Structure formats: structure tokens, C-alpha cells
Amino acid sequence: MIRAILLFSLSVVSTFSVADSISCGDSLVTVSDATSAKEPFFDVKIEGKSISKNHQFEIQKDYLYLRCEITSTGKTVIFINHFCGGSGCADFGNYGVIEADTGKVLLEPNQPFKGNSEEAKEIMGKELKPFNCKQADTEICMHSKIETRLTRQSTGWFISGIDGVRSCFLLALHSSRPDNPLVSLRGLC
């Protein structure tokens, strides 16, 4: 007998936005959560004397932490950890680095499942300090507030934003046979 069960991640990290903006070098960095599932991105705006840039990070990776740091070579950067909270996600190690004065991306946080801490250490030229999310004037720690809803359709189960925009499809097929419990795992986001 084969049965389908839904897989979803439960977040074990409880966090909240402790600040909306921080200073970084001569720039002001402002972070905002998505306002709806139609535009599912954290927005990071960098504004200064010679810069006005926006960077977007998808809310499917639930958490966005950032702070201002100085690399070992003296460069002022925005240090980012953009991660998800599920069991398949890298433990606090999907880093990004953006130059504060130009907005140039030095490292993209694009490894949510295996992490990229070694690349981040190389760019920063030092060990990485963990975020503590208690320093409102130096760190921003956000968890997306966009709620999702579960719906069953003829092709499987879908997780979507509360306004109906489909964002993920997750389905696992399990067998009752103990020698082969997981028959198939499918996911599309």
C-alpha cells in the first residue's frame, strides 16, 4: 500500500524584527518584509552619498539576518545570513556579502541546503561571528510574516500565500513496506 503524506518544515528558531535600518559606513541599510505573497521578497535598500540600490531575497528562505562588518582588508560590508528553518536547510550558514559603499554583491546567499560558510570566511578574511539578534542598532533579524495555506489539488498538495499565489508543491509517497519506506519525494518551489 502506498500513501501520500505532506512534508513541511517546522521552524525551531524564534525571531522577530529587532530593527528596520542600520548604518553601515556612509550608507543607511533598510530592510523590509514582503507585503504579500505576490511579491515574496525581503527588500534590502542601501542608500548613501553615492549609492541607492535595492537587493531582494526570497521569503521561501524564512529568515534574513544582517549587520555591518569590516573585512580583514578594511572594507565595509553588509554581512547577511539568509536561511530557512527546515530539517533540510543548512544550519545558520547561507551567507551573503555586499559592499556597503557600492552595493556590489561579493557573495550571493544561494546555498540554503549545504551552506557557504567557507566562502564567507574567505571573503571576510576572519572567523564568522554568530548573529545574536539582540543588538537593535547593529543587527537586523527578520522572519517573514507572510502566512501560507495548504490546499489539495488533483496533482498533489500545494503551499501558497494567503492571497492564493502558489509558491511550493511538496509531496512524499511512502510505502508500508519496512525495507523501502520512502518511494518518492517530490518538491517544486
Answer yes or no: do 34 and 100 share one domain: yes
pLDDT for residue 5 is more than 80 = no
Number of structural domains the chain divides into = 2
Query: Cell 521552524 maps to which residue?
Result: 11
**pTM: predicted TM-score of the whole model, two decimal places:** 0.69
Based on the domain organization, do 65 and 98 belong to the same domain?
yes
| Measured distance CA(185)–CA(171) in Å, rounded | 6
- Report the pLDDT averaged over residues 104-120: 95
Q: What pLDDT, on a 0 to 100 scale, did the predictor assign at position 154?
A: 60
Residue 38 or 154, more confident: 38
| Res. 94: pLDDT tops 90 | yes
Q: Which has the higher per-residue pLDDT, 48 or 175?
A: 48
What is d(CA 151, CA 172) in angstroms, rounded to the nearest whole number?
15
Q: Are 165 and 82 part of one and the same domain?
A: no
Mean pLDDT of the region 142-162 = 60
Say what the alpha-carbon torsion angle 189, 56, 63, 103 is, to the nearest 10 degrees: 140
Asked, for residue 15, whether it belongs to a domain, the answer is no
**Do residues 72 and 134 share a domain?**
yes
Taking only the tens place, the pLDDT of each residue in 68-93 is 999 999 999 999 999 987 778 887 68
Smallest CA-to-CA distance from 151 within 169, 139, 136, 133 is with 169
Q: Is residue 155 over pLDDT 80?
A: no
Using the predicted structure, report yes or no on whether residue 133 has a pLDDT greater than 70.
yes
Q: Which of 87, 144, 92 is nearest to 120 (CA)?
A: 92
Range of the domain at 181: 2-6+147-188
Q: Sorting pLDDT into bands at 50, 70 and 90, what band is 139?
A: very high
Residue 95 has pLDDT above 70, yes or no: yes
Average pLDDT along the chain: 75
What angle (nearest 5°) sits at the alpha carbon of residue 20, between those of residues 114 and 128? Answer: 35
13 belongs to a structural domain: no
Query: 90 and 78 in one domain?
Result: yes
- Looking at the fold, whether 82 and 156 belong to one and the same domain comes out as no
User: Do 158 and 69 fall into the same domain?
Assistant: no
pLDDT band at 17 (very low <50, low <70, confident <90, very high): very low
Task: Please choose, from the candidates 189, 152, 158, the residue with its C-alpha nearest in 3D space to the C-alpha of residue 61.
Answer: 189
In this structure, the answer to whether residues 36 and 76 fall within a common structural domain is yes
Residue 111 reports pLDDT greater than 70: yes
